[in-house]
Amino acid sequence: MKKLSVAVAVCAVLASSYASAEVRINGFASIVGGKSLDSDSTLYGYDDDISFKNESKFALQLSADLHEKLTATAQIIARGEDDFDATFEWAYVTYEYSDELQFSAGKMRVPFYKYSDFLDVGYAYRWVRPPKSVYGIPFSTYEGVSVVYSSQLGDWDSTLQGFYGAFDGDIDVFGTELPAELNNLGGINWSLSYDWFSARAAYIVADTSISSEDSGLIGLVSVLSDSGLTNTANDLITEEDKTSFFGVGFSIDYENFLFDAEYTQFEVEDSILPEQSQYYASVGYRIDSVIVHFTYEDNDDKHDSSRFNTIESIPTLNSAVNGALEGLRAQSNVYTIGARYDFHPSAAFKIDFSRFEDDITDTETDVVAVGVDLVF
């Protein structure tokens, strides 16, 4: 909690520094408890002991209007999974050139998904957590610049965003935290909405490097290099590899009927990381202040068949390389049924039951989670 106190103090200092500016402080919080219903399986960080720490969080957002169309925004968040150590999630300035065009620079959210801007604000969506099969890229922010152009295309509201920057930090690579750098990280996303329908598409590229020293591959890479198989060794190392992300989705909010769907593809070329494709479809129905919903998720991570059996002349190494590639294969489905109750203008109670089916190991894991999401 010491870091949280420091972060709050920083907010106070910033607020006092801009005594002549209009300063607004908002916040949000999620208090979530959950447990796995299987004694020997974990899911979303839950085992068979109930935990109120894993997905809980508390955040403050400070916005300062510096006048002359310039604003500064900082968001500080403390996550239970990090022992509530507070960090700056966002810190950027925005210049509103016109009603249609604005420029931003600093640390911001990467616009991967429909709910990217509200990824941590549980009150903004109906689930306890966004569908993890899709919302699973292990980093969410970048440091750089962004340009947003909003306009009307006939009766449609249009928002076009372009951004460029970089990411440097630790990411979770199949359960292991590894240092990573993404340079030349940039892309575009386009959103259209009309009445009860909205749609969105995004395309993002980067040059990705991930340290292999702690990945368990360093021994195999050394053996391949010593055997003169440099190209094959390089294929197991992620260093300045071309990376691409594509996402598309749409939403319907018609009377009491709700529907959301998103599909994404993620690929790091010439890397040990498999090509990933995933989607979800979610239907909901609103009954006064209650929403009941059902969501299906599908995840499929695999290497193209052409990457296997590339060194058949050395059976032992060929088997080792095939094993490394196949070891990252993943295929799973998730079924979630849940409800949201808006019992207060600024608070919602949620309950979700999720069943994860691993098609590789032919196992199932069930998790139930309840939570209260707040905005203030």
For 204-245, give the DSSP string: EEEEEEE--TTTT-HHHHHHHHHTT-HHHHHHTSEEEEEEEE
Q: At what angle do helices 315-326 and 218-226 cross, to 10 degrees?
A: 150
Closest CA to 147 of 130, 159, 134, 131: 159
Residue 24 has which token pair? 């607004």
pLDDT by position in tens, the chain (length 376): 444 444 444 444 444 544 557 899 999 999 999 999 998 889 999 999 999 999 999 999 999 999 899 999 999 999 999 999 999 999 999 999 999 999 999 999 999 999 999 999 999 999 999 999 999 888 999 999 999 999 999 999 999 999 999 999 998 877 778 899 999 999 999 999 999 999 999 999 999 998 866 556 666 767 777 677 777 667 677 889 999 999 999 999 999 999 999 999 999 988 888 899 999 999 999 999 999 999 999 999 988 887 888 787 788 877 877 887 887 889 999 999 999 999 999 999 999 999 999 999 999 999 999 999 999 9
Nearest-angstrom CA–CA distance, 272 and 212: 10
Distances (CA, A) of 63 to 7, 18, 27: 15, 11, 11
Residue with token string 């094959």: 232
Tokens of 180: 């990573």
The answer to whether 69 and 119 have CB atoms below 8 angstroms apart is no
> Where would I find the beta strands (DSSP E) of the chain?
22-36, 57-65, 70-79, 86-96, 101-109, 141-153, 156-173, 176-194, 197-210, 238-254, 257-268, 275-287, 290-302, 330-344, 347-358, 363-375
Residues 6+ apart with CB under 8 A from 100: 149, 150, 151
Burial class (CB in 10 A: 0-12, 13-18, 19+), 25: middle
What is this structure's pTM?
0.89
Q: How far apart are CA 354 and CA 334, in angstroms?
A: 7
3-state class of 165 per DSSP?
A: strand
Structure tokens at 77: 């968040």
Which token pair is 12? 């106070």
CA distance 329 to 342: 40
First-last CA distance in the chain: 20
Distances (CA, A) of 147 to 102, 139, 265: 6, 21, 24
β-bridge partners, 341: 290, 349
Residue 274 is given by DSSP the state: P
Torsion of CA 116, 119, 122, 128, to 10 degrees: 100
* 245 token code pair: 């992300």
Here the tokens at position 225 are 């290099």
Q: How far apart are CA 267 and CA 154, in angstroms?
A: 36
Count of other CB atoms within 10 angstroms of residue 252: 14
Side-chain-side CA neighbours of residue 164 (13 Å) = 1
